[in-house]
Chain A
Amino acid sequence: MLNIFLKEINHFLSSLIGYIAVGVFLLVTSLFLWVFTDTGILEYGYATLENYFYLAPYIFMFLIPAITMRSFSEEYNTGTIEILSTKPITHYQIIGGKFLAAMFLVLFALLPTLLYFYSVYQLGAPVGNIDTGATWGSYIGLLFLGAAFVAIGIFASAITNNQIVAFLLAIFLCFFLYIGFDYISRLNIFYASFDALVEQFGIDAHYQSIGRGVVDTRDLIYFISLISLFLFFTKIMLERRKW
């Protein structure tokens, strides 16, 4: 698994994909937070990173599929999947290596944004007047959300040898799981009956819940199951490819 992980990391770093994905994420979030007046902290006047944690999932929704779209599609396309599959490693090791490599990139995108936290911390009056618990919770939530999107993206990539199809499918699945269940829960048929339950299927509810600063085991179990489920689906897709 470590070897696959290193190979993927190398690929991210030797091509432009890694730098562009991280760079775009940082550029967009800092523009929204510090430059644009509609969403900017400076205009808003409260020492909080709420806006950042509201925006980040939407940016991840596009960037993470862009990172993961090639993970299996390209291997199918060039036939290198045959090299990997005939080496003494299991499918789970291949999938795990690719998953961790993409997570590594997500982590690298998130780390520099701790600087936003530090800045707001310093800018608060008095200094440190920020809900630290909620912020850390939100960071953890964002990490889990990123992991879920990575798992979805890898699954989409294992379905097809066309990277564009994998990209679009991943965006759709991420969008649907993130916010789709929210909208469905508001439909008339669920109103005042099952709406709370349907909402729980979506990522957003759990992301919000962790973001309040309480890391609830229910939310952790939700994220871990979602990630495992999609990685398991990926393994099924890999095996199905063998006819």
Chain B
Amino acid sequence: MSVIVESITKTYGTQNAVDNINFTVGEGEIVGFLGPNGAGKTTTMKILTGFIPQTKGQAIVCSINVAEKPIEARKTIGYLPEHNPLYLDMYVKEYLTFVAKVHKVEAIKKRIAEIVELTGLQIEQHKKIGQLSKGYRQRVGLASALIHNPKVLILDEPTTGLDPNQLTEIRQLIKNLGKNKTVIFSTHIMQEVEAVCDRVIIINKGKIVADDTVDTLQNKGSKNIYTLEFLQALSSAAFTKLSQLPGLEKLKIKTNGLLECFSNNKTDLRAAIFNFAVDNQLTLIGLNKKENSLEDIFKQLTNHN
């Protein structure tokens, strides 16, 4: 296991930012770290990188205890902090050289050339970091996290503020890196998790609420969701009748003619809904079935109100 988190708790005052969480990440795994804002994602990552100490428990990266041997542990970790702080008055190459020297990288020039190419910084490599657009700054941050060829990559929201093209590129880059590195990255974007990760850890209010592969999570408690649209508003009698269709679990009115209902993922209600419309002389103008996405599962798991 290259990352082991053992019953870590972090307390700020009386509030538990992270509450007794446990997980392990194997070598070469890409793990998506999901959770609403303030769930404790960043705190966990900061503890893993040794930036802040935990209140209880221990973090072990590449069999090194982060709290006991912070310097050793940091050598094996590439970290991209949230908001990607950078020295804006430094030149891209100057900054990368600085980071490489701090990490005691050998053959610095060659390594920087490699990393510049890998992160697609060629055109911008002679500029000051302050002059770069957000997407390129993100690449500089990523480049500096990669420069010492770390075994474990910890990326805190690496894709915020990128345009769709850059998103695809960075995701592809993370995916490629994951072939021989352990990657933990946090995000809010569900498609990203589906596109990049092998495994998802969902955290809410400091506790882990799901830790599974993307596929299992999608199947677990999965539901079919139907959106139906009638030309006219439904009478209450018709509504009651509709809600009593066999297999239908929940019915919601969105606007007058627009409804949403759910069934388990083994039943297909579309025929029944169509027949219901015919029997009640209602004009069905829209009927759409979709499977419960990761996004919905995320909402179910993290929204208890």
Q: Does B68 contact A (CB under 8 A)?
A: no
In A48-73, the 8 Å CB interface with B consists of none
Q: Could you count the A-B residue pairs with CB atoms below 8 Å apart for me: how many are there?
A: 60
Q: Give the complex CA separation of A89 and B99 in angstroms.
A: 11
Contacts of A90 in B (CB 8 A): 71
B15 → chain A closest CB, angstroms: 12
Contacts of B103 in A (CB 8 A): 87-88
0/1 interface trace, chain A 77-99, chain B, CB 8 Å (1 if under) = 01110110111111000000000
Q: Give the complex CA separation of A95 and B71 in angstroms.
A: 16
| A residues neighboring B (CB under 8 Å) | 3-4, 6-7, 10-11, 14-15, 78-80, 82-83, 85-90, 242-243
Find A3's partner among B46, B79, B88, B102 (CB 8 Å cutoff).
B102
Given contacts A80-B87, A87-B99, A87-B103, contact A242 B74 (CB under 8 A): no
Find A88's partner among B46, B75, B89, B94 (CB 8 Å cutoff).
B75
The answer to whether B87 and A79 have CB atoms under 8 Å apart is: no
Q: Which 4 A-B pairs have the closest CB atoms?
A: A79-B85, A88-B74, A80-B85, A82-B81
> Which residue from chain A places its CB closest to the CB of B11 in the assembled complex?
A243
The answer to whether A82 and B71 have CB atoms under 8 Å apart is: no
Find B71's partner among A6, A15, A88 (CB 8 Å cutoff).
A88
A84 → chain B closest CB, angstroms: 8
Given contacts A82-B51, A86-B50, contact A11 B71 (CB under 8 A): no
Contacts of A243 in B (CB 8 A): 12, 52
Chain B CB within 10 A, most for which of A7, A78, A86: A86
Q: Give the complex CA separation of A242 and B43 in angstroms.
A: 11
B226 → chain A closest CB, angstroms: 46
Q: Does B177 contact A (CB under 8 A)?
A: no
Q: Does B182 contact A (CB under 8 A)?
A: no
B38 → chain A closest CB, angstroms: 16
Contacts of B75 in A (CB 8 A): 88
> Which residue from chain A places its CB closest to the CB of B148 in the assembled complex?
A88
B14 → chain A closest CB, angstroms: 13
The answer to whether B51 and A86 have CB atoms under 8 Å apart is: yes
Q: Does B49 contact A (CB under 8 A)?
A: yes
Contacts of B101 in A (CB 8 A): 3
The answer to whether A89 and B102 have CB atoms under 8 Å apart is: yes
0/1 interface trace, chain B 63-88, chain A, CB 8 Å (1 if under) = 00000000110110101010101111
0/1 interface trace, chain B 35-55, chain A, CB 8 Å (1 if under) = 000000000001001111100
Q: Does B274 contact A (CB under 8 A)?
A: no
Contacts of B88 in A (CB 8 A): 78
Contacts of B79 in A (CB 8 A): 86
The answer to whether A82 and B85 have CB atoms under 8 Å apart is: yes
0/1 interface trace, chain B 119-151, chain A, CB 8 Å (1 if under) = 000000000000000000000000010000000
Q: Does B98 contact A (CB under 8 A)?
A: yes
The answer to whether A11 and B102 have CB atoms under 8 Å apart is: no
Contacts of A85 in B (CB 8 A): 50-51
> Which residue from chain A places its CB closest to the CB of B84 in the assembled complex?
A79
In B190-206, the 8 Å CB interface with A consists of none
A67 → chain B closest CB, angstroms: 16
